[in-house]
Amino acid sequence: MIPANEVLQLFEQTGAYLRGHFRLTSGLHSPEYMQCALVLQYPEYAERLGRDLARALRNLAGESAINVVASPAIGGLIIGHEVARALGARHIFTERDASGRMILRRGLSAASGEHAVVVEDVITTGGSSREVVQVLRESGANVVAAASIVDRSGGRANLEAPHTALATLGFTSYPPDECPLCRQGLPVEKPGSRPVLSR
């Protein structure tokens, strides 16, 4: 198992550990951001992180064989697929419909009685993973565990299933109206939303 500090080293090494003023998917503001796509662009690292998450999930799931791994798109796609590969399981993913509701599309489904796990790249409040847990339960699947590469909640997020992470961090994040960086007048950035311009 890769120790948490090596996971963070991997983020530093690939430029995925960003510092500045960011608006997270959860709506909270933070001086730090983990851009997982920059780590996962290397299949070798994705495979290694997937193998480690698979091992951690097997420990959490105990005797239950894991049939299906489910992830929220887009962040959970690559890591979820690698975890499924390591577990010898299937990988499915959820997307948001026009009203913002998390759903399974493209004919993907979980069957009643299947043992499922939820895998995401980073959790902050755990909101997306929790929605995937709900989608799976509505399908009748038995959600045995959840996991992420990074848990920014310091382990406090409630995913309504036992969960684990390769690195658990107590990162600072603020509601926008209490954000000290906003008060300093620093422009806020939504990571990943701005294309890199070629020179």
Write the binding mask 152 to 191 for Zn ion: x where contact by CB under 5 A, - elsewhere.
Answer: ---------------------------x-xx-----x---
Q: Which residues pair with 90 in a beta bridge?
A: 68
- Comparing CB distances to Zn ion, the nearer of 30 and 129 is 30
What is the smallest separation between the CB atom of 174 and Zn ion, expressed in angstroms? 6
Number of residues this chain uses to bind Zn ion (CB under 5 A): 5
Contact 136, 104 (CB under 8 A): no
CA angle 136, 57, 15 (to 5 degrees): 100
- Comparing CB distances to Zn ion, the nearer of 21 and 115 is 21
Residue 24 DSSP SS3: coil
Q: In the structure encoding, which two tokens stand for residue 145, read together?
A: 């565990």
Q: How far is CA 50 from CA 26, 29, 37, 39, 60, in A?
A: 24, 28, 14, 12, 15
Binders of Zn ion among residues 93 to 152 (CB under 5 A) are none
Q: How far is CA 20 from CA 7, 23, 199, in A?
A: 21, 10, 23
- Comparing CB distances to Zn ion, the nearer of 8 and 186 is 186
Binders of Zn ion among residues 4 to 43 (CB under 5 A) are 29
What is the smallest separation between the CB atom of 152 and Zn ion, expressed in angstroms? 16
What is the smallest separation between the CB atom of 101 and Zn ion, expressed in angstroms? 28
What is the smallest separation between the CB atom of 186 and Zn ion, expressed in angstroms? 7
Binding site for Zn ion (CB under 5 A): 29, 179, 181-182, 188
